Amino acid sequence: MKISVIQQNYIVANFDYNFSKIKKAIIDHHHSDLIIFSELCITGYYPYDILAYPAVIARQFEVIEKIKVLTEQYNTAVVIGCVMPVDGLKKFYNAALVIEKGQIVFEYHKQLLPSYSIFDETRHFIAGEKTSPFFTFKGQKLALLICEDIWFDNKQGYLVNPVSELQGKALDLVISINASPSMLGKFAQRQQLVSHIADIAKAPVAYCSQVGGYDEIVYDGASFVMDKKGQIVALAPSFKEGEIHADLQNLPQQSFNSPFIDKPYALILQQLMLGLKDYVHKCGFSGVVVGSSGGIDSALTLAIATLALGKENVKAITMPSVYSSKGSVDDSVDLCQRLGVELFQRAIKDEFLMTCQNFEKAFGHPPKKLTKENMQARIRGRIVMEYSNDSGLLMLTTGNKSELAVGYATLYGDMCGALNCIGDLYKNDVYALSNYINEAYGELIPRSIIEKAPSAELAEDQKDSDTLPDYYYLDAMLKLYLEHDVLLEDEKKQLQEIVDTVDLTERKRIYRMVELSEFKRKQAPQILIVQRRPFGIGRRMPVTSGFQKT
């Protein structure tokens, strides 16, 4: 039996667009016996509360009917992911259909519904408790699972283990359709899980995944076929559309390793580029604008945007104030010349001084030091937002995860923007990714930016170190605090050794800064996800809370 595994970049609830991609794949690969698409491929994953609209479900079934008609023309069957209503309830099954010769010949309902980290499937779906994964196709015995079904070992308190059902069934193929978000180390986890499935089932496994950016989530694709020995014998590309083909009676002898193995920053860069590109284009924008401070964070954001969108679709604005060094302005000029990005200069010194004067006139006293710092940030945020309104370009914000964690950012100032590309990167990751870009693409980011002491330049001779510990220690404290439940034991041990060298009082101060800054993060723009515990949908903490980490 010949199979084709298709990974595509869908747009949620854009049914015409999604069907056009599915249709083309069926036509192009109709010589295969079975064509496999990813989880919820018709609606796109994840549709959230769009599912509450009956018209959306109706449009989905129109597409299913079109797929039925299409399969009547060919001697092939397709596996598609879709939403199936549950009688009498306002919830659905996360389902997979096998369609052959215009008929639904098999239907499966996802048994395990993730409701942890970035997932919330139990809001819209119910588990397929009475479903069977087994069906026969062209004399072959197959099993069909959906994404989380293979993650029973994740220890989320599931009461059933769909993988255990595969043992001793004399299967010819296991199919897993997925919309699996990309995060550091994720592919290696998938490979380990699927290898276990191959061993349990004593059968090859076809793993089909979605690809593309969707809000803050990025799906990396990297679909594969694994033989029953646990070796990947066919591998689709990462971070772009593609397909793989395999003859189950004659699987290749070649073996593929994990993509980006030992190259984490290559993976991070590709993930951020795809996430940004799809966010901009799927939301209907032509490009982006970034405030350029001459610092490392805005420099990295500009470099990612240029690599993702092309220099002609990126604009930068430098906004020197009273405390801005000549070097920072010069660094912005140098950076944008290297990137080929147009740079505008809009000084804010006079506006800032006037704002201080007007404050004193209105309130009877001059603004405090912190107030003056935030004034500058908010003037800059407003200016970039004004240019965004005028040009139609999307405004990117530039705060890193370390700063967002401790609240070292100004609401309605440097936190202004629609999307943050680097908000899931700790400060040390920002430097490492900047160095990787320079190694891979030439010196796009000037060394002077990478080597200078980090500073917001909102006060005389200001440095980040005036307020925060060295980022080596800060990042270790933050990672151990924020990701404690998803870290491997070796990672925990290494981080704990670093954290133990920091004074206990300083640790408590940093942890309290994290807790008190939750209200800022609730108002932050969406952040492209890289880590296992991202802010936003990946870490849902209350603002009004008495919790304090000790």
Give the domain-ending residue among 227, 262, 297.
262
In the predicted structure, residue 154 carries a pLDDT above the cut 70: no
Residue 305 lies in a domain: yes
Do 173 and 191 share a domain, yes or no? yes
* Beta-bridge mates of residue 483: none
Distance CA(335)–CA(444), nearest Å, equals 7
Do 291 and 424 share a domain, yes or no? yes
| Residues with active-site annotation | 39, 110, 147
Residue 536 lies in a domain: no
Residue 287 lies in a domain: yes
In the predicted structure, residue 260 carries a pLDDT above the cut 80: yes
Do 413 and 497 share a domain, yes or no? yes
Q: What is the pLDDT of residue 104?
A: 98
CA atoms within 13 A on the CB side of 417: 28
Q: What is the pLDDT of residue 456?
A: 63
| Selection from 255, 162, 253, 267 nearest residue 221 by Cα | 267
Do 235 and 382 share a domain, yes or no? no
User: SS3 of 452, please?
Assistant: coil
Do 314 and 422 share a domain, yes or no? yes
Average pLDDT for 415-432: 97
Do 339 and 247 share a domain, yes or no? no
Distance CA(360)–CA(364), nearest Å, equals 5
Total domains in the chain come to: 2
Do 216 and 165 share a domain, yes or no? yes
**Mean residue pLDDT across the chain:** 94
In the predicted structure, residue 195 carries a pLDDT above the cut 90: yes
| Selection from 268, 333, 271, 327 nearest residue 302 by Cα | 333
What pLDDT digit, counting tens, does each position of 478-532 carry? 999 999 988 889 999 999 999 999 999 999 999 999 999 999 999 999 999 999 8
Do 89 and 167 share a domain, yes or no? yes
Percent of the chain with pLDDT over 90: 86
What pLDDT digit, counting tens, does each position of 37-92 carry? 999 999 999 999 999 999 999 999 999 999 999 999 999 999 999 999 998 888 99
Residue 535 lies in a domain: no
Give the domain-ending residue among 194, 228, 262.
262
Give the model's confidence band at 407: pLDDT under 50 very low, under 70 low, under 90 confident, else very high.
Answer: very high
What pLDDT digit, counting tens, does each position of 382-403 carry? 999 999 999 999 999 999 999 9
Q: What is the pTM of this model?
A: 0.95
What pLDDT digit, counting tens, does each position of 74-86 carry? 999 999 999 999 9
What pLDDT digit, counting tens, does each position of 329-358 carry? 999 999 999 999 999 999 999 999 999 999
**What CATH number corresponds to the domain at position 207?**
3.60.110.10
Residue 538 lies in a domain: no
What pLDDT digit, counting tens, does each position of 263-278 carry? 999 999 999 999 999 9
Residue 550 lies in a domain: no
Torsions phi, psi of 145, nearest 5? -125, 160
Give the domain-ending residue among 232, 262, 292.
262
Higher local confidence (pLDDT), 465 or 441: 441
Average pLDDT for 223-244: 97
Do 116 and 157 share a domain, yes or no? yes
Residue 471 lies in a domain: yes
In the predicted structure, residue 121 carries a pLDDT above the cut 90: yes
Average pLDDT for 124-151: 95
Do 230 and 288 share a domain, yes or no? no
- Characterize 251-290 residue by residue with b for buried, 16 or more Cβ atoms within 10 angstroms of its Cβ, and e for exposed: beeeebebbbeeebbbbbbbbbbbbbbbbbebeebebbbb
Q: What is the pLDDT of residue 258?
A: 86
**What CATH number corresponds to the domain at position 458?**
3.40.50.620
Do 300 and 257 share a domain, yes or no? no
Residue 420 lies in a domain: yes
Give the model's confidence band at 155: pLDDT under 50 very low, under 70 low, under 90 confident, else very high.
Answer: low
Q: Is the distance from CB of 228 to CB of 202 less than 8 angstroms? A: yes
Do 292 and 150 share a domain, yes or no? no
What pLDDT digit, counting tens, does each position of 10-36 carry? 999 999 999 999 999 999 999 999 999
Q: What is the pLDDT of residue 319?
A: 95
Q: What is the pLDDT of residue 245?
A: 97
Q: Domain range holding 98?
A: 2-262
